[in-house]
Amino acid sequence: MLRPVLVLVCASALVTVPAYALTAGPSRSASVRRGHLEYGAPALKRASEQPQQQRMSPVLMAAGGASAPSGSATVTSSIVNLSKNIVGSGILALAGGVAAFSASPLGVLPALAVLLALGAASGYSFSLIARVGDEVGAETYRDTWAKVFGENTALLPALTVLFKTFVGGLSYAIILGDSFSSIATLAGLPPVLARANTWIYILSAFVLLPLSLMRDLSSLAVGSIIGTAGTLYTALFIWFRKLDMSYAVGGKFHELIAEGSRPAFVAASAARPLINTRIFVLISMLATAFLAHYNAPKYYKELAPPADGSSKQAAFNKVCAGAFGLASLLCAAIMAGGYLTFGGASQGLILNSYATTDPLALLARLGICASIIFSYPLNFVGLREGVLNLFKLDGTKAPVHIITTIVLLCLMNGVALVLKNLGLVVAVGGAALGTSLVYTFPALMFIQATRLKKKELEAKGQKLDAGREMEMKANVGLVGLGLSLGGLGVYMSLKSAGVI
């Protein structure tokens, strides 16, 4: 299955290597974030100019929007940048997550309640990471873990983020294939070009590979603007189609979509109550939707201390509340609008639910595709850097850079040729990896840091603050929450998809 991709990719590599891979300078040149990426041109430029020993792995660092100098960002700018950093491609799968446990219009109510609750919990754990990092003098997620638990265990969060970038890239490939297939169908292109896999082959070889081979990614900064505009347009489009009833019975697009894709609403019943165990599919997706946590120390460092001399942590908590609040509202808008339009028929990639002849859907697909194409190399560089660091390979050497890029791209996009369920990818990835990064790891770091602080104070004959003691105990519950959501989420996601 991977052979056609490898042939195309290798052919493209022969053309693109001189332009991209042999550019002077080291390969570790980009700031990266989760499967859904944000970055800043200044940060990318500076990263490529820094000596190798002074650079942290891009797998565990990133910049949301334009990266600000240390201690200079305002609360407002940090809220805007962080909210962009949070919202990713997983947002397009949330309506399908609701459909996994309900087909009743009322199903959106518990879904919204869960979304807002997990958004708040994610904002708290994001702040928690920054608090621990500031306390132990660490500037990255990995370093925070290493200073609390020891360098020998730092591989655990690094591998988790590594696998999360793989899942993010896989999601991108699935979305691109499906979206370009719909666009080709609307344009009346030959049947072979209306197949999703055809576009994965073409884009892998002639678009994604050249971009992934680039040494300096600062020229892709426009993708941040395009990505934000595309996501906002998609939210408006989804609600416009909901309100104009174009896909309801009698609507102009109702008969233009497959019968199994037409809106399906049924009342909750004893056989399938409004809230049931399949809600863990949505919960798993939401772990991915709010994942930006390996950037927490960076945002804290960039935030300027309040002019009135008040606590920087208090200002950072405002950033977390504002950013996660905005992200929650956008996720809620797309999830609710898509689900209330198609109900139990909502697909794993909600844009697939809309007719290929819908011109507004075409614009949404184009916007999302443009955003993903710009974001793909930023996610990919994190995956590649993680592999290079894991196997202690020198990515500054052109052969190593080229070979690892081709092999990883073939592997990741090759899986996308077979696995087509974006909802399943987002749910399983979120359950297995997102819950660890968002809930389990931050809580464990806080608990251990508190224990170390308590021991240090006792050696001085002092006692730990009672509030900190209570918060530590509460975080034991957060660890349990993360482990429970992860295990149940994976099981229910696979069961819902008929895998088990």
pLDDT at 26: 35
Helical axes 466-496 vs 441-459, angle rounded to 10°: 160
What pLDDT sits at residue 319? 95
CA 61 to centroid of chain Cα atoms: 14
- For 362, residues 6+ apart whose C-beta sits below 8 A from its C-beta are 182, 183, 186, 356
The answer to whether residue 212 scores a pLDDT higher than 90 is yes
Confidence of residue 103 (pLDDT cuts 50, 70, 90): very high
Q: Is 485 a residue whose pLDDT tops 60?
A: yes
Tens-digit pLDDT profile for residues 358-391: 999 999 999 889 888 988 988 898 889 889 988 8
Contact 274, 76 (CB under 8 A): no
Q: So what's the pLDDT on residue 62?
A: 36
- Please check the confidence at residue 4 and state whether its pLDDT lies above 50: no
Tokens describing residue 79: 């809220």
**Does residue 244 carry a pLDDT above 90?**
yes
Mean pLDDT, range 263-272, rounded to an integer: 87
Which of 25-34, 447-456, 465-474 has the weakest average pLDDT? 25-34
pLDDT in tens, 53-76: 333 344 444 333 445 566 788 999
Please compute the mean of the pLDDT values over residues 219-240 and round it to a whole number. 85
In Å, how far are 178, 182, 361, 420, 427 from 200, measured between CA atoms? 9, 13, 20, 12, 22
Given a cut of 50, whether residue 498 has pLDDT beyond it is yes
Among the ranges given (4-13, 83-92, 343-352), the one the predictor scored with the smallest mean pLDDT: 4-13
**pLDDT confidence of 32, banded at 50, 70, 90?**
very low
Name all domains of the chain by residue range, CATH numbers in brackets: 3-424 (1.20.1730)
Residue 11 reports pLDDT greater than 70: no
Q: Kindly state the average pLDDT of the residues 462-472.
A: 94
Average pLDDT value over all residues in the chain: 83
- Residue 303 confidence (pLDDT) above 80: yes
Predicted local confidence at residue 70, as pLDDT: 67
